[in-house]
Amino acid sequence: SQTIHQWPATLVQPVGSPLSLECTVEGTSNPNLYWYRQAAGRGLQLLFYSVGIGQISSEVPQNLSASRPQDRQFILSSKKLLLSDSGFYLCAWSAGDTEAFFGQGTRLTVV
């Protein structure tokens, strides 16, 4: 069966520090991978999606970047965090047009 792992679960980082959130998927190959952000009291915003290794599409301009160094690994990064980067980050995968499966999320607080 397929599983998705996302870590860390919570993170407190100072403004200006770097960020690296990692997401891995098991039990499937060539998944579509997604990073979403959920700001407090707001809905889900698609940040990045990827259809293959090294292929990243960005949905909104921002302080973040994403990379896919391996087929089932998706990384969300920042060189210098801003206060506005605080939120709940969710990684997800899907196989084409079917449902998306989500990780448990990372709550990032930038202080």
Partner 1 sequence: GEDVEQSLFLSVREGDSSVINCTYTDSSSTYLYWYKQEPGAGLQLLTYIFSNMDMKQDQRLTVLLNKKDKHLSLRIADTQTGDSAIYFCAESPRGSSASKIIFGSGTRLSIRP
Binding residues for partner 1 (CB under 8 A) = 6, 32, 34, 36, 42-44, 46, 49-51, 57, 59, 90, 92, 94, 96-105, 107
Contact 26, 73 (CB under 8 A): no
Question: CB of 55: closest distance to partner 1 in angstroms?
Answer: 8
Q: Residues 27, 68, 24, 84: what is their CA dihedral angle, to the nearest 10 degrees?
A: -140
Question: CB of 105: closest distance to partner 1 in angstroms?
Answer: 5
In the complex with partner 1, the residue whose CB is nearer, 49 or 74, is 49
In the complex with partner 1, the residue whose CB is nearer, 46 or 53, is 46
3-class secondary-structure state, position 85:
helix
Contact 95, 28 (CB under 8 A): yes
